[in-house]
A and B are shown apart, each in its own frame.
Chain A
Amino acid sequence: MLEIIAETLRITIAVALILAGMLAIVIWVRNNTRKLSTLRLFVQIVAVVLIFLGLIIGPFGQDQWEYLGTAPKDIAIGKEIFGRPYPDGLTVPTFSCYYASGRTATCVVWQLQSYLFPDFGTSSVYSTSGVERLAIATGLLILMSIIFGRFLCGWICPFGLYMDLLTRLRKALKIKHWTLSDRTNEVLRQSRYLIIATFLILSVILGMRAIAGVELVSETELGRYLEIPFCQVCPAKPLFVLVEGALGFMDVDYMLSQTIGDFALTGWYLTSINLVILGVVTVGSFKIRRLWCRICPLGGLIAIFSRFGPFKKISLIKLTKVEEKCTKCGICKRVCPPQVTEVYDDKGGDVTVSSCILCFRCVEMCPYEGCLQVEVAGKPIYKSKNWLKEEE
């Protein structure tokens, strides 16, 4: 009983905080149109804190999974959904990495992969069947994609923040950025779907461990890694695990003890491939804005459920353009972090596309009053302004 009250209280506080934040955002944006980017940074930081340091709304310092360190691994929001246990917590379509311990929500990519095979591992944590968990995860993915779409990428995703910080660092150093050609970007965009398909299929196959009696992977630790193939190459994992380790929220010794083996497959918390990819993405996105987002399968997943087919119509957040106000000045194209060209090219109306992370930089920078606007459920909430007025 007490536990339920505590849980409710925690969720209420979290929700209240988020709502208060949103309100503050709305008020602030009204007054300071040119400060949208700063606001975005602020929201991103708040989101990271909420996602990874669930500790601040949990019993901080209490050992729950003693070998992981002081952070309670499972202070997760939504451990129960519809009265059904959902031990990994709320599904969020961002890189809110499962492996970093203090999370309050869980990365949908991890959930999809691990729930895809119903007899996940030998663990007994789950009393719900895999199918049910898979349904919840997919349902939440679709729901959030419809509601927020890739706004999650622009404003919430912690890995997106990491890349934005690299960009800010580069800007501060006055180093110029590189752009990729439109064709390269297109190839990268298309490859997202290939990556999604590959890791989902792999996690089914490898999750079965054996097909028709032929063993694919043995019942070992290695097998456990391979059931969740994408996470073994994901650049976000080592980043968050290392940061949390460094901050003392995770037991580094334990982490390292789980990181063993040869080059390609070293361990649960860090593989060499993870690290190499993180290194490449770090260097790359220092010079190229939001590089990883251009191939990110999670961004692709959100796009599938918000920008295509019937979802396109019902998705809530949209970017629209008034054709006759656009002088084709090209600013929107130049300032766009993932180099979306459609906002510039398209004539008018709904110009949101799958590669757009809804960061609204273009709306902020378009110098023509009311040319670009952000619509939520058909209502414009933020429009491009004659920003010279605000620039004092």
Chain B
Amino acid sequence: MASEIEKGTKYIPEMTQSEIDDLNKSMKTSSLKVIEDNIEKMKKSWKDRPQVMEYFDEISNLFGKRQEEIKQQKATGKKVIGYSCIFAPIEMILAADAIPVRVGSGWYDSAKLGDRIMPVEVCPVIRSTVGAKMVNLSPFLELSDAIVMPLTCDGRTKLSEMLADHKPIWRMNPPRVKDDPHTLSMWKQEIMVIKEKIEKLTGNKIDRKNLKTAIEKMQQATKAFRRLQELRKGNPVINGRDAMLVNQTSLWDDIERWTQKVNELCDELEKRLEQKEYSTYPDTPRVMLTGTPMIWPDSWKVPNLIEESNPQGVVVVDEQCSGDRILYDPVGVDEWTMSDMIDAIGERYLMACTCPCFTSEHGNEDRINWIIDRIKEYKVDGVIYYVVRGCILYAMEYQRIKNVLDKMNIPVYYLDTEYTREDVGQMKTRVEAFLEMLEARMDI
């Protein structure tokens, strides 16, 4: 009997090795091409792109240098711990001297493959991740020794089961009501469980000292990140896509080196700001992105459209867990005791997060406040609310946010799409119409 059930838990269909290899090869080639294209496009729109951006271009190659680096470190006995969502306590992973990498995937091709085992109604982020696993496409997922999976939405909940066929999956159960004291203590227990698992896997004890070092490392990253964000508040000295790329590479790069490079970039940009050398015209409509995470490289389709259309827009800020929300919040430690550090980490990942998977007495107000604040701080002219079909959490929150933005007299555009390149032409028209409207408003 038991054996029947065991069979049933296997989600992923049997495929022949040659089919896997073929698909892997073609998808990899196509992905490398998309990466290259995106970088080309970014270079073209920003004539005077700083030298140091090349570093981020290099890291952005998912099949390139960083993958090799991790492989080498893995060979020396280091463990790689993947995570599917920014709820995973990175500080703990770093403290145990393991390598944290984000494993969520955004390949359009592999989303189609995912359709084989999942209905198309499911969010393409999930289908794409499963599809990538079917043909071992994602280098970071393949390299992971274990994957931390916070179960934020239905898609991720089932995804954790599917991936469990291949990798040890460490589930985390984020409470849905985040500001209740008892749910916070529940979440802290989840963090403690993960801590134990990390310790067991790596054989390294997470203690006061290494945890403190890890927290400080991440604080430095946040500091650099905020420095970059600060630069996006004024006239554009960096294009939105480039900033987004910088932010997203922090998910798999060595965080210390990343911090250093971001600071180098900021040094350069600060100089340019002084000399009034802008990356694009200062009167370009300033756009904010919100909604479903945009995962490198395929989802660059949207920011590419915004920043290349005519009239052009510039993405100055976003409210996405693939962008500005990755590093914005620091872990604020009051007393450097183990217990306070863990509390601080727990709160940082749960309470400061504005994911739509939460609700509270007043609804997910934190997210609305975040958006309002960013609109004011970054002098946003219009908001693009990006949703991929199937991501119902973001889709459902749209109306409430629209109501608030209407009151603020900020235009918002609901841009729904799929993991496909086929709708680019049609999307271009939509985006252009929106930007034209923004520009017309600005002229008044």
A residues near B (Cβ < 8 Å) are 171, 174-177, 182, 323-331, 334-335, 365, 367, 386-389, 391
Contact = CB atoms under 8 A, between A and B. Distances in A.
Contacts of A389: 223, 226
Contacts of A330: 184, 347, 351-352
Contacts, number: 77
Contact of B369 (A175, A182, A325, A331): A325
B208 interface: yes
A324 B376 CA distance: 10
A331 B219 CA distance: 15
Query: Among B219, B334, B344, which residue has the most Cβ atoms of chain A within 10 A?
Result: B334
Contacts of A182: 181
Interface string B372-390: 1100100000000000000
Contacts of B208: 174
Query: Among A171, A177, A334, A387, which residue has the most Cβ atoms of chain B within 10 A?
Result: A334
Given A177-B335, A327-B329, A365-B332, A334 B366 contact: no
Interface residues of B, number: 33
B369 A329 contact: no
Contacts of B340: 176-177, 334
A391 B223 contact: yes
18 contacts: A176-B337, A177-B337, A324-B373, A326-B369, A327-B354, A328-B352, A329-B332, A329-B347, A329-B351, A329-B352, A334-B332, A335-B334, A365-B334, A367-B332, A386-B226, A388-B220, A389-B223, A389-B226
A335 B337 contact: no
Nearest to B223: A388
Contact of B335 (A171, A326, A331, A391): A171
Nearest to A348: B369
Nearest to B222: A388
A391 B227 CA distance: 14
A367 B347 contact: no
Nearest to A323: B369
Interface of B: 178-179, 181, 184, 208, 219-220, 222-223, 226, 329-330, 332, 334-340, 343-344, 347-348, 351-352, 354, 366, 369-370, 372-373, 376
B369 A334 contact: no
A386 B219 CA distance: 11
A182 B373 CA distance: 30
A174 B337 contact: yes
B373 A325 contact: yes
A174 B339 CA distance: 10
Nearest to B179: A328
B335 to A, nearest CB: 5
The 6 closest A-B pairs by CB, nearest first: A329-B352, A388-B223, A176-B339, A331-B332, A324-B369, A335-B334
Given A176-B338, A331-B334, 5 more contacts: A176-B335, A327-B351, A334-B343, A365-B332, A389-B226
B351 A328 contact: yes
A64 to B, nearest CB: 45
Contacts of A387: 330
Contacts of B219: 388, 391
Contacts of B373: 324-325
A275 B351 CA distance: 43
Nearest to B230: A386
Contacts of B335: 171, 176-177
Nearest to B367: A327
Contacts of B354: 327
Contacts of B330: 367, 387-388
A334 B337 CA distance: 13
Nearest to A386: B226
A331 B179 CA distance: 12
Contacts of B336: 171, 174
Nearest to A388: B223
A334 B334 contact: yes
Contacts of B339: 176
A325 B347 CA distance: 17
A330 B343 CA distance: 10
B337 A327 contact: no
Contacts of B334: 331, 334-335, 365
Given A176-B340, A330-B184, A388-B222, A335 B332 contact: yes
A367 B370 CA distance: 14
Query: Among A177, A326, A328, A387, which residue has the most Cβ atoms of chain B within 10 A?
Result: A328
